[in-house]
Amino acid sequence: MHTSKQAHPTRFIKANLAALSLLIVILLIRVAIANHASNQRYAQSYFMRTYQELQSETQRLSNQVAELQSSQRLAAESGRLGLVPARKIYYIQPTAAFVYNK
């Protein structure tokens, strides 16, 4: 027969195991939450770095476009290529046949 003294240690062991299991579950949940938060911070940092790189590249390209479209640069490039101002402009009309006789 079981006496109350024999049942008491098994209840104590079961209570300790339940408490230990609960503690392990809580610790695993905390590790999962910390891991998730760390992953979110890393992703946010990555996206901010990418955003800043894209902003600086956009600024660089805007500056380059402004530089390339400046009248001084166009005049310098025209001089480098030996272009001269046009006196008259002729537009060629496409036709089925073209004959040039001088």
22-49: pLDDT as tens digits: 999 999 999 999 999 999 999 999 999 9
Are 67 and 73 within 8 A, CB to CB?
A: yes
Which of the pair, 27 or 92, is modelled with greater confidence?
27
Q: Can you list the alpha helix ranges (DSSP code H) found in 1-102?
A: 4-69, 71-81
Interval 38-62 mean pLDDT: 96
pLDDT surpassing 80 at residue 93: no
**Mean pLDDT over residues 60-86, rounded?**
85
Is the whole model's pTM more than 0.85, yes or no? no
Q: Dig out the tokens for 69 from the structure.
A: 């479209």
- Give the span between the Cα atoms of 45 and 94, in whole angstroms: 58
Mean pLDDT of the chain: 85
Q: Is residue 1 predicted with pLDDT exceeding 50?
A: no
